[in-house]
């Protein structure tokens, strides 16, 4: 059987690349894969090459590694494209996305998916994703893009809108990650859990969450989740003591369903938790303000040590991650079916959400590619909350497609958290300041003068 060619764009994200390559090479049918690493940072690219080669040596597989600084060359004839870059990085772009809003007393937690931070990240990210699509159309038109970049929903929507023939899926680990967390909170082995989730990226909900019984039947676990939260047994402490995960449990008591992305993310997708003068809410729900910059600083420091350890080591420990990439590659390449949660154009799969929106649903994967499963209508309260986020995504995509700077302001106006904290003049001035601060990181059309409003 031929060996797949798998290209990583943004391969300098070395830890992520290591996890995906390690997953791929542990699958027998993919052990001879040609791994192509592309990055514009030569130092990070070299580090990733060293790691990939040591993974191959550790696993004793016949895979090969090639490195590229030219995107189109890396894509030429490839079968799969794993995208994992961040335009602007922690510095300057993430710092800008937090510090400029802070001048307006607009506080954030993660700012990579929604809110003014997510909007600006989308405006600077999508043009480069489109450049990958352009190259794919020329040199790898049948390849599948496995897109791991935030803001996931905006990116996926924008690709589907401008390049509808590109085969793509947006991938996140929030569904399976949250399922593991809830199983842990209830002291139930994850392998005994059955669930179904649907919505949009970072705002999908478990429509059912069940425990397989010895007689083969399934027990609804929602009553136990409510009971555990009410009695203080859940949420249990997680990997990050700054993030106690109370927001999502509280929202479950109000909506009846548990959301799949973390509490620190969800707190800034709604107007209910981060409010000026309401420090009681911050304390009650343990909301970690400025969480993402703290993680970035910690990760950068950790990577300095880790990269040195990898360079010195003869072998690198390989563990299976929770990411879906290797499962997709294996299923498409071999025809062996699997089920993953992916982000794709809705196309009527969730009937209560807009047709063009990017939705996150269970997908069957085999040698026919990715096939989303039909969901139908979501419960009305979930649909209503999700639409508040889709409004922001749609306007950001419209800004990109039409090269219309006005829609950046409109997107910020519709953002639930921003609108709850700032008035219209503040929102428009904040967007102006963000555009100026990001400068050349943004496309040229976004940097022109703002049109004067007619009084």
**Kind of pairing between the strands at 167-170 and 144-147:** parallel
Q: Residue 145: beta bridge partners?
A: 81, 168
Q: Cα 203–206–212 angle (5° rounding)?
A: 155
Torsion sign over Cα 359, 362, 368, 369: positive
Q: What are phi and psi of 265, to 5 degrees?
A: -70, -50
Instruction: Write the DSSP symbol of residue 259.
Output: B
Torsion sign over Cα 381, 383, 384, 389: positive
**For residues 108 and 244, what is the distance between their CA atoms, to the nearest angstrom?**
16
Structure tokens given for 102: 């802070």
For residues 204-234, one letter each, b for 16 or more C-beta atoms within 10 angstroms of the residue's C-beta and e for the rest, the string is bbbbebbbeeeeeeeeebeebbbebbeeeeb
Active site residues: 173
Instruction: Write the DSSP symbol of residue 122.
Output: H
SS3 7: strand
> Which residue in 294, 226, 252 sits closest to 385, CA to CA?
252
Q: Are 345 and 147 in contact (CB under 8 A)?
A: no
Q: What is the residue whose two structure tokens read 């209830």?
A: 186
Q: Residue 341: beta bridge partners?
A: 362
How many Cα neighbours within 13 Å face the side chain of 268? 25
Instruction: Compute the residue count for the chain.
Output: 455
Q: Are 105 and 420 in contact (CB under 8 A)?
A: no
Q: Are 359 and 175 in contact (CB under 8 A)?
A: no
């Amino acid at each position: 059987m031929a060996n797949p060619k798998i290209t990583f764009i943004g391969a300098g994200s070395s830890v992520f690349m290591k996890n995906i390559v390690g997953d791929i090479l542990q699958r027998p049918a993919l052990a001879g894969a040609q791994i192509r690493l592309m990055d514009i940072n030569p130092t990070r690219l070299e580090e990733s090459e060293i790691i990939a080669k040591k993974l191959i040596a550790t696993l004793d597989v016949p895979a090969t590694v090639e490195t590229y600084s030219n995107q189109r060359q890396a894509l030429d004839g490839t079968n799969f494209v794993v995208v994992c870059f961040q335009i602007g990085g922690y510095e300057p772009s993430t710092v800008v996305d937090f510090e400029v809003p802070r001048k307006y007393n607009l506080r954030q937690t993660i700012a990579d998916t929604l809110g003014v931070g997510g909007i600006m990240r989308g405006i600077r990210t999508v043009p480069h994703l489109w450049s990958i699509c352009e190259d794919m159309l020329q040199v790898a038109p049948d390849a599948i893009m496995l897109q791991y970049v935030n803001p996931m929903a905006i990116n996926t929507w924008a690709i589907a809108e401008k390049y509808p023939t590109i085969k793509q899926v947006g991938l996140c680990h929030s569904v399976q990650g949250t399922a593991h967390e809830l199983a842990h909170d209830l002291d139930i082995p994850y392998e005994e859990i059955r669930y179904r989730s649907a919505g949009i990226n970072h705002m999908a909900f478990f429509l059912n969450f069940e425990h397989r019984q010895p007689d083969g039947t399934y027990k609804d676990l929602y009553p136990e989740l409510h009971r555990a939260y009410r009695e203080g047994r859940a949420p249990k402490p997680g990997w990050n003591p700054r993030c106690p995960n109370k927001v999502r449990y509280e929202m479950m008591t109000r909506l009846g369903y548990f959301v799949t992305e973390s509490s620190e993310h969800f707190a800034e997708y709604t107007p209910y938790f981060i409010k000026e003068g309401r420090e009681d809410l911050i304390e009650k729900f343990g909301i970690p303000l400025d969480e993402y910059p703290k993680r970035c600083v910690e990760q950068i420091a950790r990577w300095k040590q880790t990269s040195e350890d990898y360079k010195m080591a003869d072998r690198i420990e390989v563990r299976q991650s929770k990411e879906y990439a290797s499962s997709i590659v294996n299923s498409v390449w071999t025809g062996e079916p699997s089920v993953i949660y992916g982000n794709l154009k809705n196309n009527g799969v969730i009937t209560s959400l807009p047709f063009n929106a990017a939705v996150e649903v269970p997908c069957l994967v085999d040698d026919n590619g990715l096939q989303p499963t039909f969901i139908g209508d979501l419960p009305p309260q979930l649909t209503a909350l999700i639409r508040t986020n889709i409004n922001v995504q749609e306007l950001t995509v419209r800004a990109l497609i039409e090269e219309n700077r006005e829609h950046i302001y409109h997107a910020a106006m519709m953002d639930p958290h921003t609108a709850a904290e700032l008035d219209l003049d503040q929102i428009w001035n904040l967007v102006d300041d963000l555009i100026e601060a990001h400068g050349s990181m943004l496309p040229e059309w976004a940097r022109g003068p703002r049109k004067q409003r007619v009084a």
